[in-house]
Amino acid sequence: MKFCSFASGSDGNCYYIGTDTCGILIDAGISVKTIKKNLKQLGISLSSIYAVFVTHDHYDHIASVGTLGEVYNIPIYSTQAILEGINRCYKVSDKLYQSKHTQELGTTVNIANISITSFHVNHDSTQCVGYYIESEGNSLVIATDLGYINDEAIPFLLKSNNIVIEANYDEEMLLEGSYPLFLKKRILGNCGHLANHITARFLAENHQNHWKHIFFCHLSKENNSADAVLRMLSKQYETCGIKLEERPELTILPRTTPIDLCII
C-alpha cells in the first residue's frame, strides 16, 4: 500500500492511498490543479483515482470535492450528514449531485482492492469521521481533526499497522499565543483539536509492536512546531520505557507541501 500526504493543515488537507492498480483520496481541501500536479510527480494520473472519501465538511477538507465529483466524475463518499454539509458550504461552487455516495457510519466500502471503514470522531463540524483502510495485508488509519481520542477510534488505532493522527497544538503555545479567548476554548474543547501531549501520551501508553509508521497531521502554524511534537513524544516514550529501537518510524506531515511517496 502506498501513502502520500499532499497537504495537512488549516490551509488544506489531502491524502493519497493507493496500490499498483488504483488509488483513493482522503479529503480534497486543495485545488484540483495541485492534486493533479502532485499525482503527476508520483507518476499517477487522476484517472486512476477511483474515489474520494471525506472526513468532514470544513472547507479546508472539501475545497475541490465538488469539482472532482461533478466535473471529473469521481465518486465522493461520506455520511449523508457530511454530504449535505458539503452542499451547504457557500464556498463550494460545484455542489454534489450525481457523484455523491453515502457511506453509513461504521460501514465498509470496497474500492477495487482497497477497503475503507469509517468511524466516528469528535469535531465541531456537521459530522466527522476517521477512516481505517486495508489493502494487501497492510492497514492505515486516518484520524484528523478530533477533540479527543474517543472509544470508537481507539480499536482502529490499536490494530492498524500505520497511523495518521492529529497533533494540532502545543498547549503552552496556544494559551500564551495571540488567538482570541473564544478560539482558544474551541480548540481546547472536546470537539476541537488534539494537543501534542494527548497524542503523545496515547501513543506511548498504548504502544503496539506492529505499528510501523506514525504520521503527525494538521499541525497549527501559529501554535505548534515539528520539534515540539517530537520532543513531547520522546518524553512520553521515555516515561513509558519504550526504547528507541522499539519505536515506529515518525514523520511530521508538512502543512502545504507533499511528502515523498511512502510504501507502508
**In the chain, what are the domain boundaries?**
2-263
Give the pLDDT band (50/70/90) at residue 40: very high
Q: What is the mean pLDDT of residues 42-51?
A: 96
Q: What percent of the chain has pLDDT over 70?
A: 100
Cα–Cα distances in Å, from 115 out to 96, 140, 195?
23, 11, 29
Give the pLDDT band (50/70/90) at residue 152: very high
- Give me the pLDDT at residue 132, please: 98
User: What does the mean pLDDT of the chain come to?
Assistant: 97
pLDDT digits (tens, 9 = 90+) for 192-219: 999 999 999 999 999 999 999 999 999 9
φ, ψ dihedrals at 95, nearest 5°: -80, 160
Q: What percent of the chain has pLDDT over 90?
A: 99
Beta bridge partners of 119: 130
Q: What is the mean pLDDT of residues 70-91?
A: 97
Q: List CB contacts of 8: < 8 A, sequence separation 6 or more.
A: 15, 144, 217, 218, 219, 253, 254, 255
- Give me the pLDDT at residue 160, please: 98
- Give me the pLDDT at residue 148, please: 95
- Give me the pLDDT at residue 211, please: 98
Q: Which CATH number fits domain 2-263: 3.40.1350.10, 3.60.15.10, 3.30.479.10, 3.40.50.720?
A: 3.60.15.10
Task: Tell me the C-alpha distance between 46 and 54, whole Å.
Answer: 17
- Give me the pLDDT at residue 122, please: 96
pLDDT digits (tens, 9 = 90+) for 101-134: 999 999 999 999 999 999 999 999 999 999 999 9
Taking alpha carbons only, the member of 186, 163, 162, 165 closest to residue 174 is 186
Task: Tell me the C-alpha distance between 236 and 67, whole Å.
Answer: 43
Report the relative pairing of strands 262-263 and 249-252 from DSSP bridges.
unpaired
**Are the beta carbons of 76 and 69 closer than 8 angstroms?**
yes
- Give me the pLDDT at residue 246, please: 97
Give the pLDDT band (50/70/90) at residue 252: very high
- Give me the pLDDT at residue 178, please: 96
Count Cβ atoms within 10 A of the Cβ of residue 222 and give its class: 0-12 exposed, 13-18 middle, 19 or more buried.
exposed
For residue 216 the three cell numbers come to: 503527525
Give the pLDDT band (50/70/90) at residue 174: very high
**Are the beta carbons of 73 and 99 closer than 8 angstroms?**
yes
